[in-house]
């Protein structure tokens, strides 16, 4: 199934976290959703992933901003690069971008939709 596990030991430093590269779970299926409306917050992308040790699947709908970060997570960009890219594209300051991107990536890692590759 998903080859990544949580590392043992202390949490990574801020510097190593920002240098980490988000890697998408290859078992996740992406389904574009027809826009229900042009309002901010409308779901635009559905991620479907198999549940561990089960044939069941779980779906997660992403809004425009979540879908933007999901698509930008290409397995090459670091978290810091994603934060800068998000800030530039959405015309917000770096601090706001950092808070939003880190919170979103934390949610995705908690739900096993992606993992963080942290270099030692």
Give the residue extent of every domain in the chain: 15-115
Q: What is the pLDDT of residue 62?
A: 94
**CATH assignment of 15-115, given 1.10.3470, 1.10.540, 1.20.1340, 1.10.10?**
1.10.10
> Is residue 116 a contact partner of residue 109, using CB atoms and an 8 Å limit?
yes
Q: What is the pLDDT of residue 3?
A: 52
pLDDT, tens only, 14-60: 899 999 999 999 999 999 997 665 655 567 999 999 877 777 899 99
pTM more than 0.85:
no
């Amino acid at each position: 199934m998903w080859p990544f596990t949580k590392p043992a030991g202390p949490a990574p430093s801020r510097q190593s976290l920002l240098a980490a590269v988000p890697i998408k779970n290859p078992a996740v299926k992406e389904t574009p959703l027809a826009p229900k409306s042009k309002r901010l917050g409308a779901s635009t992308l559905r991620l479907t992933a198999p549940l561990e040790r089960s044939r069941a699947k779980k779906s997660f709908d992403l809004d425009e901003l979540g879908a933007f970060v999901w698509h930008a997570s290409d397995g090459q960009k670091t978290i810091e690069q994603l934060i800068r890219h998000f800030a530039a594209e959405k015309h917000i300051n770096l601090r706001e971008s950092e808070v939003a991107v880190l919170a979103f990536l934390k949610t995705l890692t908690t739900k096993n939709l992606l993992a963080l590759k942290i270099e030692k």
